[in-house]
Amino acid sequence: MLKGFVKPISAYSEQEIETMYQLMAQFYDHTDPEVFRRDFADKDYCLALYHETDGLVGFTTQKVLTLSVDGKPVHGMFSGDTIIHKDHWGDVELFRVWAQFWFAFAEQYEAFYWFLICKGYKTYRILPLFWTEFFPNYRMETTPYAKRIMDAYASLLYPDAYDPESGVIAYKTQKDKLKEGVAEIGVRQLKNKDVAFFCERNPGHLIGNDLVCLAKIDKALLRKHAHELLFR
């Protein structure tokens, strides 16, 4: 059985942080402990996922950001490193705890967004699985306002790597990437239109490039089954 907890970054012990790094290194190539620790310390919150016998088996980090778009503040949260041990793929506990924390957090703002970058199709598929509206997607063109928000946060965080025309962050230095066999895309996966769209928009995902995405943290935009699953 899995149990997730959200805590401020400062509340995590050195042992917990080391365990998170080892989990990342197990499933990603080109990881670096110093880079990982620097990125971890730069975030505001971390959701850690624990198994009753296996211990820490997953985590995701978040940073609260305020951007200026069209001369007005736009509030949101950026997701950093995220991994769940493959033995627990399919379990919704991490996203359930994530949703309950961040949807409640968002209530203090008129509008609050999820600033997301995806280097793997499994992460991207969270969006169509739970949201009725998100960007980019094959169902509709990205709205001009959403595009300006995406450009704003991607340019702020990755000024030397983000290409606004493609919507992709193409790193100029070696970047961590999923190991072969972890989340490979074959003929069966490509039959899914969302997966096919992700591959088309982010052809460099195999070398670690990220697709810039956006979703509004708003319960009204959740699919019915997602609302029942996450907030029952």
pLDDT tens digits, residue range 75-109?
999 999 888 888 887 788 999 999 999 999 999 99
Name all domains of the chain by residue range, CATH numbers in brackets.
Answer: 2-231 (3.40.630.30)
Parallel, antiparallel or unpaired: strands 177-178 and 112-118:
unpaired
Q: Give SS3 for 177.
A: strand
Phi, psi dihedrals of residue 149, rounded to the nearest 5°: -65, -45
What pLDDT, in 10s, does the model give residues 11-44?
A: 999 999 999 999 988 888 878 899 999 999 999 9
b or e along 200-226 (b: 16 or more beta carbons within 10 Å of the residue's beta carbon)? ebbebbeebbbbbbbbbbeeeebeeeb
Does residue 189 register a pLDDT over 70? Answer: no
CA dist 46 and 104 (Å) reads 16
pLDDT value at residue 180: 61
Range in 73-82, 144-153, 173-182, 218-227 the model is least confident about? 173-182
Does residue 192 register a pLDDT over 80? Answer: yes
132 Rama class: left (phi>0) / alpha (psi -120 to 50) / beta: alpha
CA dist 77 and 111 (Å) reads 11
CA dist 1 and 8 (Å) reads 24
Confidence of residue 120 (pLDDT cuts 50, 70, 90): confident
Query: What average pLDDT does the segment 198-209 reach?
Result: 90
pLDDT value at residue 91: 83
Confidence of residue 183 (pLDDT cuts 50, 70, 90): low
Average pLDDT, the chain: 91
Q: Comparing 176 with 115, which gets the higher pLDDT?
A: 115
Prediction pTM value: 0.91
pLDDT value at residue 19: 95
